[in-house]
Amino acid sequence: MTTASRVVVGDVDEVLTTTRAVRKRLDLQRPVPRELVEECIDIARQAPIAENAEHTRFVVVDDPALRGEMAAVYRRAVEQFVLEPMRRRSQERAERGEPSRELPARMKRIMESAYHLMEHLHEVPVLVLAGSDDRAPREPLGAHASGFWGSVYPTVWSLQLAFRSRGLGSSLTCIHLHLADEMADVLALPESFHQVALLPVAYTHGLDFKPAPRLPRDEVVHWNGW
């Protein structure tokens, strides 16, 4: 199933702690072999699944025309549900005479990175749409909802880890789900397929990714009760 020579980041802890959301460092010029994507998907499919029922499905797109149509849907979603609300809030503050708010440095970097991805999504060599053909949960919480999401996301994360180990970068995005019907039309998706996440995939410029800052352990770990 796997090809050992393709593994370029082999230390498990390094893969687990340095698999980042890659946007600006995606290599838009280097093709990604189909067999490499399929190899990573095969690895990811070993992730835990609810009720031992495999419902996660992948739509992998490397056709430039289709990538362009998908990117157009993505841009409309970002514009309508991110940028326009930001502009509206800024205008409302200005009308109230309030000073404009400067984004924290970290959030500003994230926004710049996300905007860069939006502008170049059509150039990313491979787009992977992950979802499920299980029945959609009726409630956001509960046993079925937990099983539904808990079957897809471990598989998606495992896929990102497999990509990282082979020198590929990815970024889990879901903003397009505001316009999921439009994406379904682009890809002729059946009604039984419920979209969950979109992963842009490409080789990365360099492999030197680092762990992200996190809260102190004492703030997130509770022993023997809260």
Q: What is the number of residues in the chain?
A: 226
Q: Between 90 and 79, where is the model more confident? A: 79
pLDDT band at 3 (very low <50, low <70, confident <90, very high): low
Q: Given a cut of 90, is residue 187 above it in pLDDT?
A: yes
Q: 7-55 pLDDT, tens per residue?
A: 999 999 999 999 999 999 999 999 999 999 999 999 999 999 988 889 9
Q: Which pLDDT belongs to residue 5?
A: 59
pTM for this entry: 0.90
Q: Between 5 and 70, where is the model more confident? A: 70
Cα–Cα distance between 179 and 173 in angstroms, integer? 13
Q: Which pLDDT belongs to residue 87?
A: 77
At the second CATH level, the architecture of 7-207 is 3-Layer(aba) Sandwich (3.40)
Q: 113-157 pLDDT, tens per residue?
A: 889 999 999 999 999 999 999 988 888 889 988 999 999 999 999
Beginning with the edge strand found earlier in the chain, give each strand of the sheet holding 168-170 in spatial order.
56-61, 126-132, 194-203, 168-170
Q: Which pLDDT belongs to residue 213?
A: 92
Structure tokens at 103: 């984004």
Nearest to 51 by CA among 130, 129, 132, 162: 132
pLDDT band at 79 (very low <50, low <70, confident <90, very high): very high
Strands 194-203 and 168-170, sheet pairing = antiparallel
Q: 161-182 pLDDT, tens per residue?
A: 999 999 999 999 999 999 999 9
pLDDT band at 4 (very low <50, low <70, confident <90, very high): low
Query: Three-state SS string across 96-114, please?
Result: CCCCCCCCCHHHHHHHHHH
Least confident interval from 17-21, 69-73, 88-92, 140-144 = 88-92
Tell me, what amino acid is at 155?
Answer: T
Cα–Cα distance between 96 and 40 in angstroms, integer? 52
